[in-house]
Structures are given as structure tokens and as C-alpha cells.
Amino acid sequence: MPKEIERKFLVITNAWCNKTENKTPMRQGYVRAIDCTVRVRIAETTGYLTIKGRTENFTRDEYEYEIPLQDAEEMLNNLCHGGSVEKFRYKVIVDGNEWVIDEFTGLNRGLIMAEIELNSETQSFSTPEWLGEEVSHDSRYTNGALAMKPYSTWE
């Protein structure tokens, strides 16, 4: 069974910007589900359907499948109620580990987060100087929550 082990942090400076070479636009939405998260994503011109189980500590089951772009667009428009998340994604290598930086746009503009996927919950990693508070266990920072209650609406 595929597992996702992920740690998530706020980004507090733009020192990471000169370390990246790529920028991928993304739009994603969520289908209502009870015991899992169902995400539809378009990354550039590719569609994806992802199903994620409940998180225990930093780990959860994850299944991701490439789907036709037209299907992804229809799902985002017809099945994903409650808003969507738009962002640019960057990848940065730090001490041999890949960090994913999400710079949110639209109603989540101003929020920048960094994620690292690990092979085990006990795997050590260095924390770059541009990282701030860890928000791995703060449900407000999940993309699904940001689609429902955007960052710009927080008090």
C-alpha cells in the first residue's frame, strides 16, 4: 500500500527563490468524502486523481493516478464544491532532500508553505533557514481546508 510521510512548514523568507529552476502552475479541488480525501488536480496540462487516507502522526495511505485533462477539468467544475486551490509549485534540493514549495495565489495569496516527503517518520533532515513554524498537524493548512476557508479569510 503506498504511503505518504510528509512534514509541512511555513516559509518565512524568500531565500529559497534563487535555489529553484522550475515553476509549475496548479489548480486543485476536492470531492466530498467521509473517511478519505479525494483530490482532483491539474498541474500544467496533466490531470491527476488522488485518494488519501486519514493521517496518523505524519503518515497516510495515498493513491495517485494520471487522468485525461478534460476529465480533470470537468471534475473540478462539476464535482469539486467548496472552492479550489491555485498555486505555483517549486522544487528545491537541500542537503540531498527535495523540498516542495507551494506559493498560493487567488484567495490564499500570501501563504507560502514547504513540504518534505520522507521514507520514514524517524528520518532526519536539515531545516533550511527559510523555514518557519511546522504546521504538519494544523488542519487549517491542508489544501482541502484552504479550498473551503481560504487564508485571506482568517482573522
Residues annotated as part of the active site: 30
Residue type, 149: K
Residue 46 corresponds to which cell in the numbers above?
A: 496533466
Cα torsion through 117, 4, 24, 104, rounded to 10: -90
- Chain centroid to Cα 30, Å, comes to 12
Residues contacting residue 109 through CB under 8 Å, at least 6 positions apart:
151, 152
Cell 487516507 identifies what position?
A: 53
Looking at the chain, how many residues does it have? 155
